[in-house]
Amino acid sequence: MLPPSETKAPGGDGPALDPEGLSFPALNPVRDSLLEELSSLPVPEALEVLRISPRLQEEAEANLALRSAPTMPALHRYTGVLFDALSAPTLPPHAWERLAVGSALFGVVRAGDLIPRYRLSGGTKLGGRTMRSRWGSLITEALAEEDFVVDLRSGAYQQLGRVPAAVTVRVEKDGKVVSHFNKHYKGELARVLAGAPEEAGSVADVIAIARDSGLDITQNSATELLLSV
């Protein structure tokens, strides 16, 4: 379970968004509501609501075409440090089946779900309401159906839908939490876990797969792992 990125690749060669074709259909009522509000928000107002500068006006404009713009698979849409380390184009097909991404707009999407370019952050208030209040317990309930989750989302996105039994990962160097390259190392770990011949189904499996790939990982608590870099 990956965090999204603020930056997203433009364009795409997929058809217009089909909410009914997305994974986790129980999330569709909130998805539809957010899509409607976000796509009807005038650009000047959107810049303020989304807290982005005028130089990023193109991203606010992209929201106006959410239902008609071309789409691409989620793993190709999201960009940045984590997704560079993940290197989606080089992953084997079975890896895609094991990956999902948290999203303020879509709640959760699987790697291959076709989505348009958009701008909406986990900390945004839309219509005076936080994303956390919008999603309520829906994301948590949707993810509760998964047998085993390694949750690599950042705090803001975990708050949109916590998974109490999920395994989380803390990245440290010399006993201090890594901030700048945190996403890079989580991207590397996600790549290793997703691409492994056998899917991890327990904390012990995660540790074994990671160590086999040369990563220094230990169990810090029942549901937290420590990745030393």
Per-residue pLDDT reduced to its tens digit, 133-156: 999 999 999 999 899 999 999 999
Q: In whole angstroms, give the CA distance from residue 31 to residue 8.
A: 19
Residue 86 has pLDDT above 90, yes or no: yes
pLDDT value at position 1? 97
Report the DSSP pairing between strands 150-151 and 167-173.
parallel
For the entire predicted model, the pTM comes to 0.95
38 secondary structure, DSSP code: H
pLDDT value at position 25? 97
Q: In whole angstroms, give the CA distance from residue 121 to residue 17.
A: 19
- Structure-derived torsion over alpha carbons of residues 127, 130, 131, 132, reported in degrees to the nearest 10: -150
